[in-house]
Amino acid sequence: MGKRVLLIEDEPNIIEAISFILSRDGFTVHTHEDGETAMEKVRATPPDMIILDVMLPGRSGFDILRDLRADPITAGLPVLMLTARGQTKDRDLAERLGADHFMTKPFSNSEVRDHVRAVLEA
């Protein structure tokens, strides 16, 4: 089985695109669309990496990242943050909270794939 990536994203087109490119590359992709229950999903099916949208229903990706880093079980999980708002303050906050990488939408499929490969095949 390939390495597991959990995509926490609520936009269907982005879910479809990222799932397709990563699955085609041999990764197992699980998806979740709700910020409120995202931590339950992480704990129930521990991934090797998380791709996390900033703006989610229920709770923000920043809140989820804060919880991930505060929990000793998930503190070391690689997290790639995605956002439609590419403002410097968002990037700075993600970095302070411990995001491993930050990408703004729209992004290229190859950029996402290459980053996931670099993290999980290292």
Predicted confidence (pLDDT) per residue in 78-99, tens digit: 999 998 877 889 999 999 999 9
Going by pLDDT thresholds of 50, 70 and 90, the confidence category of residue 110 is very high
Domain boundary assignment for the chain:
4-120
Q: Which residues, 6 or more positions from 42, have their beta carbon under 8 angstroms from its beta carbon?
A: 6, 50, 68, 74, 77
Whole-structure pTM value: 0.95
pLDDT digits (tens, 9 = 90+) for 9-54: 999 999 999 999 999 999 999 999 999 999 999 999 899 999 999 9
- Domain spanning 4-120 has what CATH number? 3.40.50.2300
Mean predicted lDDT score pLDDT of the chain: 94
